[in-house]
Amino acid sequence: MSQDATPSSVSTVGCAANASRAIVGLCALGFADALYMLAYHEGWIDHMWCPFFGEGCEIVGRSRESRHAGVPNAAIGAVGYAGMAALAAADGAGLPAVGLAAMSTAAAAASAALTWEMAARVRAWCFWCLLSAGVNAAICALAWTNLSAAPKVPRAGPPETARHMAAARREAADGTAPAKA
């Protein structure tokens, strides 16, 4: 353990690494799910296996609501899962963690809207779509947990605060820092 690594920072880093690995695994599941739905939507396979909902998956998979702006929802999902996996694999705080939290929030919101469309407009249920919605919810929860567990970087305040911080670092490095009571 390095000098400035405390047990709490080590456990936070370990927690973030585990969350990142879980997100990558969930993204792989979501990506496979999206490709399966895309294969049916595009006619590359003739039938979808649909546990619990009979022909519901096929009804939803070729409905008018399975496309938005001319692009299949499953294609957008596949790209989204690949992007979230890349951000999670970056496995760091800062911009990748913020991007992952933002992207996963958008994916979870899209899943909620598409689930509403399934019920209200298509009036059929798709197991694979619901699986995707659950995967997106789990990724979103893990991404925000990962973001909140990221080490906080102190912000520099006014110039005098920055000078005091620099002096404190020098004193700590020289071993001249006053003893804490």
* Most confident range, picked from 91-95, 153-157, 176-180: 91-95
Q: What confidence tens digit (pLDDT) does each residue in 102-155 have?
A: 999 999 999 999 999 999 999 999 999 999 999 999 999 999 998 887 665 555
Q: Inform me whether the pLDDT recorded for 76 exceeds 70.
A: yes
CATH number at residue 79: 1.20.1440.130
Threshold 0.85, pTM exceeds: no
Residue 111 covered by a domain: yes
Residue 180 covered by a domain: no
How many domains does the chain divide into? 1
Residue 35 structural domain: 8-153
Residue 160 covered by a domain: no
Residue 174 covered by a domain: no
Residue 74 covered by a domain: yes
The 3 state secondary structure assigned to the chain is CCCCCCHHHHHHHHHHHHHHHHHHHHHHHHHHHHHHHHHHHCCCCCCCCCCCCCCHHHHHHCCHHHEECCEEHHHHHHHHHHHHHHHHHHCCCCHHHHHHHHHHHHHHHHHHHHHHHHHHHHCCCCHHHHHHHHHHHHHHHHHHHHHHHCCCCCCCCCHHHHHHHHHHHHHHHHCCCCCCC
Residue 173 covered by a domain: no
